[in-house]
């Protein structure tokens, strides 16, 4: 009796424990709800009053409720058989609930079931997490090449993506070793052995691998080898996720070759540019010196031409004065010639008077002779007058000769002065033309001096710029080396 009580007490204690930890609900054999504990009610979101007396089907989706499978479900329970699995159920307001549950028929003494007790655990969160993980895995398997190995490298299975990548069927590779995808020279080396030792030790491996497909076709895979652990945390297989990057690697290989060629050409061009820059810099330096020399010479030339211009101005002034004085002398000579002409006229008059006086004296002498003694005194006077007239005529003739010489000399002076005036005028015109030319040359030389100074500054600037260009070329060469290294790393 005591033993039976003890067993009953233990059973009640177990049921109480299950009631505390599990969601529990009871049904008649027709599926009518008899009772439910707080855990169950909290899980589905109902109160007991809202579900008691209603049918189990209120927790089931309509499609399953009306299906033969649902009828089979209750028929199994009516036959006294328990059902245990994960069930999708519908809570209040259509909320989806996943339960890890067992439906347990409670039997009478005669072995026929009288009710069903369901013990359940809410696994909705785990189910959603599992669905998320499963969805990710399926997405990976759809988008990537996947193959599985034992820890010794034996192939277990592979998806279609992997098989199409390597060109084999599953039957051709299943049970064979991973090394069938490895180049002959790498199968036995230490690196390949260490690779599998690390995987067996639980270390994942990821990088870009060169593999061999069917027909010795070279394949490049961007892949990760991932050890999979059992419930004790011990690796038991390896799953490889891979992406075929053969085309990209080929493109990068071609790019690497192109980089080598192009960068070699660029290096040569930069080297040539550097040499040219040095040559141009040297030439610019020489040009700067030459321009400075020419600028200095231009300044000296400008100063000399300035002095010449100043002298020409003085010469032009002196020539102008000479012209004025010659013109004044010419005027005086003209007046002298006119005076000589006037004196000639006066002498002519005097000669005419002297001839008349002489004629009168002759007449007087004749009259005196007629007068006899009475005219002797008058004859003496007439004779003296005649003598004086004769002397006056001689003197006048001599003066006429002198005046003629003065007239001739004045004429010669006037002619000479005309020639001098013409010559001085020509000189003055030439001096004026030369002075204008010198003035223009002065302006040109001044501009040339200014331009040469500007050119010297420009050449000096060019020299500085060429130095900067040379420095920039050097920096470009250094940058090119770094870029080439980076590009080669990128193209690996």
Give the 3-state secondary structure of the chain. CHHHHHHHHHHHHHHHHHHHHCEEEEECCCCEEEEECHHHHHHHCCCHHHHCCCEHHHHCCHHHHCCHHHHHHHHHHHCCCCEEEEEEEECHHHCEEEEEEEEEEEECCCCCEEEEEEEEEECHHHHHHHHHHHHHHHHHHHHCEEEEECCCCEEEEECHHHHHHHCCCHHHHCCCEHHHHCCHHHCCCHHHHHHHHHHHCCCCEEEEEEEECHHHCEEEEEEEEEEEECCCCCEEEEEEEEEECHHHHHHHHHHHHHHHHHHHHHHHHHHHHHHHHHHHHHHHHHHHHHHHHHHHHHHHHHHHHHHHHHHHHHHHHHHHHHHHHHHHHHHHHHHHHHHHHHHHHHHHHHHHHHHHHHHHHHHHHHHHHHHHHHHHHHHHHHHHHHHHHHHHHHHHHHHHHHHHHHHHHHHHHHHHHHHHHHHHHHHHHHHHHHHHHHHHHHHHHHHHHHHHHHHHHHHHHHHHHHHHHHHHHHHHHHHHHHHHHHHHHHCC
Do 208 and 351 reside in the same domain of the chain? no
Given pLDDT bands bounded at 50, 70 and 90, which one contains residue 166?
Answer: very high
Do 290 and 406 reside in the same domain of the chain? yes
Q: Are 368 and 378 in contact (CB under 8 A)?
A: yes
How many beta carbons lie within 10 A of that of residue 268, not counting itself? 10
Q: Given this model, what pLDDT does residue 222 score?
A: 95
Given pLDDT bands bounded at 50, 70 and 90, which one contains residue 280?
Answer: low
Domain-located, residue 149 = yes
Cross-strand bridge partners of residue 105: 116
CATH of the domain at 454: 1.10.287.950
Domain-located, residue 432 = yes
Given pLDDT bands bounded at 50, 70 and 90, which one contains residue 290?
Answer: low
Q: Given this model, what pLDDT does residue 117 score?
A: 98
Do 262 and 384 reside in the same domain of the chain? yes
CATH of the domain at 84: 3.30.450.20
Do 262 and 233 reside in the same domain of the chain? no
Instruction: Give the whole-angstrom CA distance, residue 275 versus residue 414.
Output: 80
Using the 3D structure, point to which of 244, 276, 308 is the last residue of a domain: 244
Do 213 and 277 reside in the same domain of the chain? no
Q: Given this model, what pLDDT does residue 405 score?
A: 76
Domain-located, residue 342 = yes
∠ at Cα 232 (226, 234), nearest 5°?
Answer: 35
Do 342 and 279 reside in the same domain of the chain? yes
Instruction: Give the whole-angstrom CA distance, residue 77 versus residue 85.
Output: 14
- Dig out the tokens for 271 from the structure: 């080297």
For 477, the domain range is 256-486
pLDDT higher than 80, residue 121? yes
∠ at Cα 368 (364, 371), nearest 5°?
Answer: 140
Do 237 and 261 reside in the same domain of the chain? no
∠ at Cα 155 (151, 156), nearest 5°?
Answer: 90
Q: Given this model, what pLDDT does residue 112 score?
A: 94
Which has more confidence, 254 or 444?
254
pLDDT higher than 90, residue 163? yes
Given pLDDT bands bounded at 50, 70 and 90, which one contains residue 374?
Answer: low
Domain-located, residue 111 = yes
Q: Please, which residues have CB within 8 angstroms of residue 52's CB and are 6 or more apart in sequence?
A: 33, 34, 35, 36
Reference 278, options 467, 475, 474; nearest CA is: 467
Q: Given this model, what pLDDT does residue 170 score?
A: 97
pLDDT higher than 60, residue 230? yes
Given pLDDT bands bounded at 50, 70 and 90, which one contains residue 90?
Answer: very high
Do 224 and 261 reside in the same domain of the chain? no
Domain-located, residue 226 = yes
Instruction: Give the whole-angstrom CA distance, residue 244 versus residue 155.
Output: 19
Split into its structural domains, the chain has a count of 3
Instruction: Give the whole-angstrom CA distance, residue 434 versus residue 441.
Output: 10
Do 228 and 289 reside in the same domain of the chain? no
How many beta carbons lie within 10 A of that of residue 88, not counting itself? 14
Do 113 and 233 reside in the same domain of the chain? no
Q: Given this model, what pLDDT does residue 455 score?
A: 63
Q: Given this model, what pLDDT does residue 391 score?
A: 76
Instruction: State mean pLDDT over 99-121.
Output: 96
Using the 3D structure, point to which of 244, 276, 298 is the last residue of a domain: 244
Which has more confidence, 157 or 431?
157
Do 441 and 467 reside in the same domain of the chain? yes
Q: Given this model, what pLDDT does residue 264 score?
A: 73
Domain-located, residue 469 = yes
pLDDT higher than 70, residue 147? yes
pLDDT higher than 90, residue 312? no
Domain-located, residue 199 = yes
Instruction: State mean pLDDT over 377-402.
Output: 72
pLDDT higher than 70, residue 274? no
Per-residue pLDDT of 379-388, as tens digits, reads 676 677 777 7
Using the 3D structure, point to which of 197, 221, 244 is the last residue of a domain: 244
Given pLDDT bands bounded at 50, 70 and 90, which one contains residue 55?
Answer: very high
Domain-located, residue 30 = yes
pLDDT higher than 70, residue 247? yes
- 23-52 burial, b at 16+ Cβ within 10 Å, e below that, comes to bbbbbebebebeebbebbbebbebeeeebe
Which has more confidence, 150 or 280?
150
pLDDT higher than 60, residue 301? no
Mean pLDDT: which of 119-123, 274-278, 421-425 is highest?
Answer: 119-123
Given pLDDT bands bounded at 50, 70 and 90, which one contains residue 80?
Answer: very high
Instruction: Give the whole-angstrom CA distance, residue 225 versus residue 206.
Output: 6
Q: Given this model, what pLDDT does residue 253 score?
A: 78
Do 194 and 225 reside in the same domain of the chain? yes
Mean pLDDT rounded to a whole number for the chain: 81
Q: Given this model, what pLDDT does residue 98 score?
A: 97
Mean pLDDT: which of 163-177, 342-356, 461-475 is highest?
Answer: 163-177
Per-residue pLDDT of 433-484, as tens digits, reads 766 765 776 676 677 667 667 766 765 776 676 677 667 667 766 766 776 6
pLDDT higher than 90, residue 106? yes
Reference 73, options 55, 49, 91, 53; nearest CA is: 55
């Amino acid at each position: 009796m005591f033993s039976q009580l003890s067993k009953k007490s233990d059973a009640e204690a177990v049921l109480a424990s299950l009631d505390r930890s599990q969601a529990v609900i009871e049904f008649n054999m027709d599926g009518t709800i008899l009772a439910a504990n707080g855990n169950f009610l909290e899980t589905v979101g109902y109160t007991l009053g809202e579900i008691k007396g209603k049918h189990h089907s209120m927790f089931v989706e309509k499609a399953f409720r009306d299906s033969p499978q649902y009828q089979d479900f209750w028929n199994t329970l009516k036959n006294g058989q328990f059902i245990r699995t994960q069930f999708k159920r519908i809570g209040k307001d259509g909320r989806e609930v996943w339960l890890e549950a067992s439906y347990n028929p409670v039997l009478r003494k005669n072995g026929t079931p009288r009710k069903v007790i369901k013990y359940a655990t809410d696994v909705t969160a785990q189910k959603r997490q599992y669905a998320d993980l499963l969805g990710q895995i399926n997405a990976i398997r759809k988008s990537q090449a996947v193959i599985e190995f034992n820890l010794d490298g034996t192939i277990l299975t592979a998806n279609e993506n992997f098989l199409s990548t390597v060109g084999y069927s599953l039957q051709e590779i299943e049970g064979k070793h991973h090394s069938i995808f490895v180049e002959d020279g790498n199968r036995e080396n230490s690196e390949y052995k260490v690779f599998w030792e690390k995987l067996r030790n639980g270390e994942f491996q990821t990088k870009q691998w060169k593999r061999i497909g069917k027909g010795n076709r070279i394949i490049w895979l961007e892949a990760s080898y991932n050890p999979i652990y059992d419930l004790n945390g011990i690796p038991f297989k390896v799953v490889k996720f891979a992406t075929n990057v053969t085309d990209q690697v080929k493109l990068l290989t071609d790019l690497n070759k192109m980089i080598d060629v192009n960068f070699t050409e660029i290096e040569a061009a930069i080297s040539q540019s550097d040499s040219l820059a040095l040559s141009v810099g040297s030439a610019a330096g020489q040009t700067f010196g030459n321009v400075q020399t020419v600028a200095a010479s231009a300044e000296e030339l400008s100063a000399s031409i300035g002095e010449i211009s100043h002298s020409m101005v003085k010469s032009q002034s002196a020539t102008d004065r000479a012209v004025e004085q010659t013109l004044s002398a010419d005027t005086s000579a003209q007046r002298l010639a006119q005076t000589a002409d006037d004196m000639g006229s006066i002498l002519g008059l005097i000669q005419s008077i002297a001839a008349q006086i002489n004629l009168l004296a002759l007449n007087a002498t004749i009259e005196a002779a007629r007068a006899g003694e009475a005219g002797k005194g008058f004859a003496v006077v007439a004779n003296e007058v005649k003598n004086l007239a004769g002397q006056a005529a001689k003197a006048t003739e001599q003066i006429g000769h002198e005046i003629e010489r003065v007239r001739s000399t004045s004429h010669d002076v006037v002619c000479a002065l005309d020639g001098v005036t013409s010559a001085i005028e020509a000189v003055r015109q030439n001096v004026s033309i030369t002075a204008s030319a010198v003035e223009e040359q002065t302006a040109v030389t001044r501009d040339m001096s200014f331009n040469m100074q500007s050119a010297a500054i420009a050449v000096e600037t060019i020299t500085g710029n060429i130095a900067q260009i040379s420095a920039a070329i050097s920096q470009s060469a250094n940058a090119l080396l770094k870029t080439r290294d980076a590009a080669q790393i990128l193209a690996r």
